[in-house]
Amino acid sequence: YTPGDENSLHVKESDEKISIRAYNEIPEIISVAQYFKVDGIHPGVGFLSENQDFAKVANHYSTFIGPKTSVFSMMGNKIKARRIAEEAGLPVTPGSNGTLKNERDLFSIVDKIGLPLMIKAADGGGGMGIERVLHEEELLPAYKKVREQAKALFGNDSVFIEKLIYPNRHIEVQIIGDNYGNVVHLGERDCSIQRSHQKLIEFSPADISDELRDAITKAAVRLAKAIGYTNAGTVEFLVDEQENFYFMEMNTRIQVEHRVTEMVYRKDLIKEQIRVASDEELGYEQDDLKSYGFSIECRINAEDPDNNFEASPGTIKKFIPPEGENIIVDTFIPVINGRGSFEVSAIYDSLLANVIVWGKDKKSAIERMEEALNMFIIEGKGVKTTIPFHLKKIKEI
264: pLDDT strictly greater than 90: yes
pLDDT tens per residue across span 136-163: 999 999 999 999 999 998 889 999 999 9
Give the whole-angstrom CA distance, residue 172 versus residue 185.
11
Query: What single-letter DSSP state applies at residue 41?
Result: B
Same domain flag for 312 and 392: yes
Domain end call among 163, 197, 220: 163
Catalytic: which of 213, 253, 259, 368? 253
- The answer, yes or no, to whether residue 125 has pLDDT greater than 90, is no
pLDDT higher than 90, residue 354: yes
CATH of the domain at 343: 3.30.470.20
Transcribe 270-328 into DSSP letters.
Answer: HHHHHHHHTT------GGG----SEEEEEEEESEEGGGTTEE--EEEEEEE----TTEE
Residues 27 and 100 reside in one and the same domain: no
CA distance 318 to 311: 19
Tell me the pLDDT tens digit for each residue of 74-116: 999 999 999 999 999 999 999 998 899 999 999 999 999 999 9
Inside any domain, residue 211? no
Q: What is the mean pLDDT of residues 5-12?
A: 93
Number of domains in the chain: 3
Mean pLDDT of 362-377: 98
Give the confidence band of 124 by pLDDT, cuts at 50, 70, 90.
Answer: confident
253 a catalytic residue: yes
Q: What is the pLDDT of residue 4?
A: 83
Neighbours of 198 (CB within 10 A): 16
Task: With respect to residue 358, please indicate whether it lies within any of the assigned structural domains.
Answer: yes
**Tens-digit pLDDT profile for residues 190-244:** 999 999 889 999 999 999 999 999 999 999 999 999 999 999 999 999 999 999 9
| Average pLDDT over every residue of 244-258 | 97
Full-model pTM:
0.94
Classify residue 278: in a domain, yes or no: no
**Domain range holding 28?**
1-38
Q: What is the pLDDT of residue 197?
A: 87
* Percent of the chain surpassing pLDDT 90: 92
pLDDT beyond 80 at 384: yes
pLDDT of residue 91: 98
Cα separation, 148 vs 36, whole angstroms? 41
pLDDT in tens, 317-331: 999 999 999 999 999
Looking at the structure, do residues 302 and 392 belong to the same domain, yes or no?
A: yes
Q: Does 352 reside within a domain?
A: yes
Average pLDDT score over the chain: 96
Structural domain ending residue among the three candidates 163, 183, 217:
163
CATH number of the domain that residue 148 is part of = 3.30.1490.20
pLDDT for position 145: 96
CA distance 206 to 218: 16
- Whether the per-residue pLDDT at 1 is higher than 80: the answer is yes
Residue 116 · residue 134 · CB < 8 Å: yes
Same domain, 31 and 116: no
pLDDT band with cut points at 50, 70 and 90 for residue 26: very high
Last residue of a domain, one of 131, 163, 195: 163
